[in-house]
Structure 1
Amino acid sequence: MPEMQLRAGVAKSEITTGEEGILISDPLYAKALVLDDGITKAVIIAMDALAIGGLGDIKDDFLPKLRARIENELHIPGGNVLVNASHTHPQGRLLCDDAEQVERTFEAVRQALQKMTEVRAGSGFGHEDRIVVNRNLKMKDGSHWSIRYAHPCPEDKEVADIGPIDPSIGVLRLDRLDGQPLAVVYNFASHLLIGVPERGVTANFTGFASKVIEENLGNGVMALFLQGAGGDILEVFFKDVNRPRNCEPLGTMLGLSTLKAVRKIQTKDAGLNVLSETIRLPVRKNIPERMEARLQEQAKLLATLRSTTLNFKTFLPLYIKYALNPDYPSDYAYRYMQEERIGSNELVSMDVHNRGNLDRYLNNIYTMEKLIRIQEDLATFQYHETLLREAGGETVPAEVQGVKIGDCALITAPAELLVEIGLNLKKASPYEHTFVSAFTNGYLHYAAPVEHYGKGGYEVTECMLAEEWQEAYESKAYDILRRL
């Protein structure tokens, strides 16, 4: 039986906060793509937001309320509605109030449904490896140290390697029957943190990327960004203190790389299928033991903070002097030669004494940096103790949704999947063009690979899921991909 003609419509609603006195760099949107192949209807919503419930401006009841309205008023099954958060990070409140979030997002879907037109679909991959880095540093002692704004990076000599990134840009292109593009859905594993200096609320670099795509393709095309498995991915310039914290150049690069892929994709008639199931994932119960281990580590480090004769005022000029000329730090070379000739060692003895004090001061600085990290971890443990107490029980619900559009398959997760999980899913998928849409249909914080547990990275510290979550989630994701 021949496939029926796929139809699609797009629309967007601005969801930026209207609070007085808040600077808006670039508007935040809920962008809706409605699809219908005559048998199945589906909705893909891309939101410039931190998370879909559980964190930030969007509350836990947003998704059920939105789906109920779509199902009751537009007659599209709630389980066929995919809602993804770009994970742009707020400087204060980003979005309009709770009721308006539902109303405006629903309105985008309603308008998209009214604008349906016949389309063809095509998919492919772009490539961009210049703008992100894996923030999980692999240390020589086998542990992980995550690059974060809240604490310093480790000593360079302790770092052995970095983790992987996923440089692929998943691209779905939808064309009208005359060949003009209607929509571009693009999927990339990233973490939207830098923002734009002194310009307040921003959709971040994916907002700029979407603008580049839309302005270059023209004809009212809409670009919808779906966040990927970017839990441990970071902007490459995140810790750079020598350039402004401006994400627009990164967005321009991502947009241009996406366009390069868009222009190579050929579209054709396509069918549609959606599967959505909710599973239960186990939660961790060992937070008290983990806190105690960190407290013991803290006590050992505190015990080493002794015998520091220098303060910062004396340390800095002394450090610079000994770094400028390690061989003859205290005076010109001829003074040292003269002392050696007459059998004196006053300068050499002073250098030994000063170097000892410099080493002790530096060691105390490195200890302080490790203590800062421990304090951040302890605060995170306390936060997650509260979350788990509120959740109750041994497990939490997690929706896993699959959407197949022509030759392209999307698989979702309601958590910050780390990049290895996304790479696993793509490798195991029966579809050549598989996109992993994390941060979708809920928010369960970080979801780290089992092999990361016990290594001390931030994503594991911030993970509320027990180690068994990975097998349960991946099994269901693979099952849905096979059945699509």
Structure 2
Amino acid sequence: MNLRLNTNLKSEASSLQFSYVAVVLIILLAVVTSADAIGQGTSGQVFKAGAATSVITPNIGTTMNGNMKAIVIKQVHDETYARALVLDDGKTKLAIVVTDLCMVSKEVCDEAKQGAQRITGIPAENMMISATHTHSSGTACGVFGSEPDEEYLKFLTVRIRDAVIRANNNLAPARIGWGVGSESTQVHNRRWKLKPGVTSMNPFGQSETVKMNPGRNHDITEPAGPIDPGLPIISVQTPEGRPVALFANYSLHYVGGTGSGELSADYYGYFAERMKTLLDAENKEPAFVAMMSNGTSGDINNVVVRGPRGPEYGEYGKMQQVANVVAAEAYKVYQNIQYQNWISLSSVQRELNLGVRLPEKSDIDRAKGILAKLNGSERNTQEEAYAHETMMLSKYPKTVPVILQAFRLGDLAITAAPCEVFVEIGLKMKEKSPFMPTFMVSLANGYNGYLPTPEHHKLGGYETWRARSSYLEVNASTKITQNIFEMLAKLKSEQAK
């Protein structure tokens, strides 16, 4: 009898203990499920994101970048923006800003970052500010005939700063994912090798064996380089799945910008608007922000030299057509993205001093002679334009600082350089990086001109011609690539700890 009673008591105690453990497990499961729902990591971190835009449209009557001589803005076709995305893993914040500009100076970027840092606390080295390279934007860098208006630079600096601050103010729990598409129909290598025995004369009176945009009837053999059809996109959503931001990267130069005097964000702006429609994210709060950054398009454009050209769309029709095609591919990628509720973030930045290809005394004397013949009239030829650039470069220091960055978002990496980077460099970065995927943002954190490889310097061509648009030492791309790989290795090592 007593034995049976003791046995029953033990059984009841065991049952109660089991029930208690079951309840605890259910509670823990509920907590974990709740954490996942609001974007928490395994140790309770909350991943957050915020996006915002600031209008950076300049005044009518100021100049736009992107032409051999100054073009005065006569009309605004569409507004231009600074589009910002801030990411926060609970420990590290990263800010990514894409501006609808042809290029943006280091001075503007530095001042905007410092202003944003004072208010948000985000370290300046954790901010990446790039230009899309639209050739119909306000002048933010002096090159060829376009010199910036000082009042516009002040306005631009504040508006870029404000975009970061507003995006930071919009931080909220979020989830993040990415994918990579491919769209090869819109990208063509614009540098072509000339037939044996055929040469082209550059503005300095020297013959070359390659030509940019040679035209359909020129004596050419093949493109001087490859293309990159890659279309990486990063998507940020609320925990419930509503779009917050989309950051894309494509290695294609501008499409419009014929010098008509109409301001436009080019296909980059059309892409941003098209993604709003495709994701049903129009007129929602907080506002969805899409942005297209410029990849490694230093030798890539949209000009068809051989083969069928297709229908003619006109300048703005072409911008929209390119944007629609690229947006359609981005949407396909978007539909298959696997989202993560939390990822870790990190970044590394280096300032590299690189040599300047300064003009020699004979170059300066030749330039002075060409400009003296103008007698105050406009510079209308390439020879005259480059004579002016020679005089401007003669005032440059022997070396200049170049800012390089690498951001890590989980297992994804974004690298950045302040140049119009050649596609070969971007392809090498994607192939050799310890992170998959990896892509590169050009024209970021300043402007130091084109970045051809040493091999392309030997061939010559527009992108190598010495000017404020191309002045870094011949081996600059080798040094930049080496440093960025070292930075990626550092990020990988830190991630493994």
Report TM bin, short chain: 0.7 to 0.9
Q: Could you tell me which amino acid in structure 2 is paired with residue 137 of structure 1? A: W
Look up the match of 1:19: 60
Q: Are positions 1:145 and 2:198 aligned together? A: no
**Which residue of the other structure, out of 197, 200, 221, is the alignment partner of 1:159?**
221
Look up the match of 2:395: 390
**Per the alignment, in what secondary structure is the counterpart of residue 65 of structure 1?**
helix
Q: Following the alignment from structure 1 to structure 2, what is the Cα–Cα distance between the partners of residues 398 and 93?
A: 21
Q: Could you tell me which amino acid in structure 1 is paired with residue 136 of structure 2? A: P
Change (3 A) 1:407 1:244: same
Look up the match of 2:293: 226
How far the C-alpha of 1:285 sits from its partner, in A, is: 4.3
Preserved contact between residue 192 and residue 211 of structure 2 (Cα < 8 Å): yes
Preserved contact between residue 384 and residue 464 of structure 1 (Cα < 8 Å): no
Give the structure-2-normalised TM-score. 0.73
Q: Following the alignment from structure 1 to structure 2, what is the Cα–Cα distance between the partners of residues 99 and 238?
A: 41
Change (3 A) 1:100 1:140: same
**Which residue of the other structure, out of 453, 457, 462, is the alignment partner of 1:453?**
457
Change (3 A) 1:93 1:279: closer
Note the alpha carbon deviations across 1:82-101, whole angstroms, 9 max, x for none.
00100000277599822221
Change (3 A) 1:412 1:3: farther
**Which residue of the other structure, out of 30, 44, 47, is the alignment partner of 1:6?**
47
Look up the match of 2:488: 481
**Per the alignment, in what secondary structure is the counterpart of residue 174 of structure 2?**
strand
**Per the alignment, in what secondary structure is the counterpart of residue 390 of structure 1?**
coil
**Per the alignment, in what secondary structure is the counterpart of residue 76 of structure 2?**
coil
Gaps of 5+ in 1: 54-59, 295-374
**Which residue of the other structure, out of 394, 399, 405, is the alignment partner of 2:403?**
399
Matches for 1:319-334 after TM superposition, within 5 Å: none
Note the alpha carbon deviations across 1:394-427, whole angstroms, 9 max, x for none.
x211111011112211000011111111111111
Q: Following the alignment from structure 2 to structure 1, what is the Cα–Cα distance between the partners of residues 405 and 389?
A: 26
Look up the match of 1:254: 326
**Which residue of the other structure, out of 125, 132, 141, is the alignment partner of 1:86?**
132
Change (3 A) 1:157 1:106: closer
Q: Are positions 1:34 and 2:86 aligned together? A: yes
Change (3 A) 1:22 1:292: closer
With 384-393 and 88-97 compared, the bigger mean Cα shift is at 88-97
Preserved contact between residue 138 and residue 163 of structure 1 (Cα < 8 Å): no
Q: Following the alignment from structure 1 to structure 2, what is the Cα–Cα distance between the partners of residues 227 and 40?
A: 25
Preserved contact between residue 4 and residue 271 of structure 1 (Cα < 8 Å): no
Q: Following the alignment from structure 1 to structure 2, what is the Cα–Cα distance between the partners of residues 387 and 480?
A: 33
Change (3 A) 1:111 1:243: closer
Note the alpha carbon deviations across 1:455-479, whole angstroms, 9 max, x for none.
1211111431222212211111001
Q: Following the alignment from structure 1 to structure 2, what is the Cα–Cα distance between the partners of residues 199 and 381?
A: 23
Change (3 A) 1:83 1:238: farther
Matches for 1:208-247 after TM superposition, within 5 Å: 208-219=270-281, 220-236=287-303, 244-246=314-316, 247=319
Matches for 1:77-226 after TM superposition, within 5 Å: 77-90=123-136, 97-141=152-196, 144-148=209-213, 153=215, 155-195=217-257, 200-219=262-281, 220-226=287-293
How far the C-alpha of 1:144 sits from its partner, in A, is: 4.4
How far the C-alpha of 1:13 sits from its partner, in A, is: 0.9
Q: Following the alignment from structure 2 to structure 1, what is the Cα–Cα distance between the partners of residues 139 and 103?
A: 13
Look up the match of 1:344: none
Q: Following the alignment from structure 2 to structure 1, what is the Cα–Cα distance between the partners of residues 351 and 220?
A: 42
How far the C-alpha of 1:288 sits from its partner, in A, is: 6.6
Q: Could you tell me which amino acid in structure 2 is paired with residue 200 of structure 1? A: E
Q: Are positions 1:416 and 2:483 aligned together? A: no
How far the C-alpha of 1:45 sits from its partner, in A, is: 0.5
With 69-78 and 214-223 compared, the bigger mean Cα shift is at 214-223
Preserved contact between residue 25 and residue 199 of structure 1 (Cα < 8 Å): no
Q: Following the alignment from structure 1 to structure 2, what is the Cα–Cα distance between the partners of residues 380 and 418?
A: 23
- % identical equivalent positions: 27
Preserved contact between residue 195 and residue 205 of structure 1 (Cα < 8 Å): no
Preserved contact between residue 453 and residue 478 of structure 2 (Cα < 8 Å): no
How far the C-alpha of 1:199 sits from its partner, in A, is: 8.4
**Per the alignment, in what secondary structure is the counterpart of residue 67 of structure 1?**
helix
Look up the match of 1:279: 352
Preserved contact between residue 249 and residue 295 of structure 2 (Cα < 8 Å): yes
Measured on the aligned residues, the alpha-carbon RMSD in Å equals: 2.9
Q: Following the alignment from structure 2 to structure 1, what is the Cα–Cα distance between the partners of residues 238 and 245?
A: 9
How far the C-alpha of 1:387 sits from its partner, in A, is: 4.3
How far the C-alpha of 1:390 sits from its partner, in A, is: 2.5
**Which residue of the other structure, out of 435, 439, 442, is the alignment partner of 2:446?**
442
With 19-28 and 38-47 compared, the bigger mean Cα shift is at 19-28
Q: How many residues align?
A: 393
Preserved contact between residue 74 and residue 261 of structure 2 (Cα < 8 Å): no
Q: Following the alignment from structure 1 to structure 2, what is the Cα–Cα distance between the partners of residues 436 and 281?
A: 20
Matches for 1:229-378 after TM superposition, within 5 Å: 229-236=296-303, 244-246=314-316, 247-268=319-340, 269-285=342-358, 376=382, 378=383
Look up the match of 2:11: none
Q: Could you tell me which amino acid in structure 2 is paired with residue 410 of structure 1? A: I
**Per the alignment, in what secondary structure is the counterpart of residue 315 of structure 2?**
coil
Change (3 A) 1:91 1:146: farther
Change (3 A) 1:199 1:454: closer
Q: Following the alignment from structure 2 to structure 1, what is the Cα–Cα distance between the partners of residues 462 and 385?
A: 9
Q: Following the alignment from structure 2 to structure 1, what is the Cα–Cα distance between the partners of residues 389 and 177?
A: 42
Note the alpha carbon deviations across 1:199-238, whole angstroms, 9 max, x for none.
8211001111111111211334211211111111111359
